Homo-oligomer: A and B are copies of this chain.
Amino acid sequence: MTDPLAEPGRMPSRAPGRTGTPSSTATSLLTDRYELTMLQAALADGTAHRRCVFEVFTRRLPAGRRYGVVAGTGRFLEALADFRFTTTELDWLADERVVDDATLDFLAGYRFSGDVRGYAEGEVFFPLSPVLVVEGTFAEAVLLETLALSVLNHDSAVASAASRMTSAAVDRPCLEMGARRAHEEAAVAAARAAVVAGFAATSNLEAGRRYGLETIGTAAHAFTLLHDDEEAAFASQVAALGPGTTLLVDTYDVRRGVERALAAAGTRLGAVRLDSGDLGVLAQEVRAQLDAAGARETKVVVTSDLDEYAIAALAAAPVDSYGVGTSVVTGSGAPTCGMVYKLVAREGRDGALAPVAKASTAKTSTGGRKAAARRRGPDGRAVEEVLVAGDDAAVASWVPDDEALRTLHVPLVTDGEVDAAWTGPGGVARARDRHRASRDELPRGARRLSADEAAVPTVTLRLDGRD
């Protein structure tokens, strides 16, 4: 058998069965080819049935970041329910000779029957935090690597950035509007992750439909330009959407725009939106203009390429809410989390679970199953991320005897059964609550935007007395 990795460069000339769009709702091919080739070899030699523990963690936070936010857990569990190999997938794998018949037979019957536990979605994390732990046979657990990482790396990157924005905005709502700057399905996940991290609403309709999120939006510059003049555009919008609508006032001249907005909607105008220019100065001027006209309840929304720093810089400006686009959906400079899915323990020849770890340069990690807890100080604020390691049975059954330690792992999948409480709109609401509580527990200073180390150190507590 020729290994295509050794001789790449060929583009198959025959067309596959499909031409562009998914024909199956299965998520099983959202997977790297090597998961399946490893499975084939392990099925043949018998190691596929060894019990394994895989751990998801990141070695470091993006430069300068003080904490990360776990997001995507609910989406991973939703995708897990669809992780099966239907005829569509099996036929393609057979046609392409990705794996042999014995492996295809195994895949045809595949359902994950193991356990998954992890940090509750919305929880903050630090370097080496074991945010997800997957336990099962090698065969069933290895197949989930790519999907788990895709979901968690993307969603956590967005939530980690979004949390800095909602933190900088303090009590002013942040609104997610970045769909156009992200892959169309990533945009749906990004809206969800932003809401987990405290965003109030999204412009994305599918995110609203799929996850029960509030959606927002009224009009773009194109609407004003479509009309013969700004007066006609504003009159039309108020007629259709009511005076409580938000009018975009910067297509031509902002001062004239505000005058026309008030002429169209009166002092009951819901809001004006500013999408360009020096937002701090403009917001001051517009606020004064609105107040002078008696429109004291009319709000000011700003939306031009904002990030956490721009939001913080507008803290003293009379702004009522922030619309954030590019920056939140691209993780504000850190579009992925660098999480890895590592085998940390596996059953050996003797049937006992043994810790394993890669030993070569640079990428070392600690083997063995781990529990995790956050140690709080007397003021209730986090002081340490505690990884509990050592004897496997002791770690598996560990319960802290110290009330300063809050355990971080919750069961997500038990014997293949997904806990639905973490999925769907309910899961998003729960994650949002968890994030708020978890962020409130961070030490003072942990939420400043300037570059610094992780807000708390990650330490290891060994249950077997070794260092």
Stretch at the interface among A31-39, A125-133, A311-319, A405-413: A31-39
Q: Is the CB of B424 within 8 A of A15?
A: yes
Q: Which residues of B contact A239 (CB under 8 A)?
A: 41, 44-45
Q: Is the CB of A217 within 8 A of B30?
A: no
Name, among A14, A175, A215, A343, the residue most crowded by chain B CB atoms within 10 Å (CB to CB).
A215
Judge if A154 is at the interface, Cβ distance under 8 Å. yes
| CB under 8 Å from chain B, chain A span 174-228 | 175, 177, 179-189, 195, 200-201, 203-206, 208-223, 225-228
Q: Is the CB of A220 within 8 A of B150?
A: no
| CB under 8 Å from chain B, chain A span 125-151 | 138, 142, 145-147, 149-151
Q: Is the CB of A209 within 8 A of B9?
A: no
Judge if A54 is at the interface, Cβ distance under 8 Å. yes
Partner of A22, one of B146, B147, B210: B210
Give bound CA distance, A11 to B195, whole Å.
Answer: 10
Give bound CA distance, A341 to B330, whole Å.
Answer: 19
Q: Which 10 A-B pairs have the closest CB atoms?
A: A19-B424, A6-B270, A34-B217, A41-B240, A33-B217, A183-B186, A1-B242, A149-B180, A20-B78, A185-B185
Q: Is the CB of A15 within 8 A of B187?
A: no
Judge if A75 is at the interface, Cβ distance under 8 Å. yes
Q: Is the CB of A225 within 8 A of B358?
A: yes
Q: Which residues of B contact A362 (CB under 8 A)?
A: 276-277
Give bound CA distance, A3 to B276, whole Å.
Answer: 22
Q: Is the CB of A8 within 8 A of B201?
A: yes
Judge if A357 is at the interface, Cβ distance under 8 Å. yes
Name, among A52, A223, A251, A273, the residue most crowded by chain B CB atoms within 10 Å (CB to CB).
A223
Q: Smallest CB–CB gap between A39 and chain B, Å? A: 9
Give bound CA distance, A222 to B363, whole Å.
Answer: 13
| CB under 8 Å from chain B, chain A span 429-464 | 429, 432
Q: Residues of A within 8 Å of B, CB-based: how many? A: 158
Partner of A236, one of B42, B206, B346: B42
Q: Which residues of B contact A245 (CB under 8 A)?
A: 1, 3, 5-6
Q: Is the CB of B270 within 8 A of A3?
A: yes
Judge if A393 is at the interface, Cβ distance under 8 Å. no
Partner of A424, one of B20, B183, B226: B20
Judge if A386 is at the interface, Cβ distance under 8 Å. no
Give bound CA distance, A177 to B40, whole Å.
Answer: 20
Digit string of A399-429 for contact with B (CB within 8 Å is 1, else 0)? Answer: 0000000000000000000001001111101
Q: Is the CB of B214 within 8 A of A11?
A: yes
Known contacts A1-B242, A343-B226, A188 near B30 by CB under 8 Å: yes
Q: Is the CB of B154 within 8 A of A217?
A: no
Judge if A74 is at the interface, Cβ distance under 8 Å. yes
Give bound CA distance, A220 to B1, whole Å.
Answer: 19
Q: Is the CB of B175 within 8 A of A153?
A: no
Q: Is the CB of B30 within 8 A of A179?
A: yes
| CB under 8 Å from chain B, chain A span 9-66 | 9-12, 14-16, 18-22, 25, 27, 29-38, 40-42, 44-45, 47, 50, 52, 54
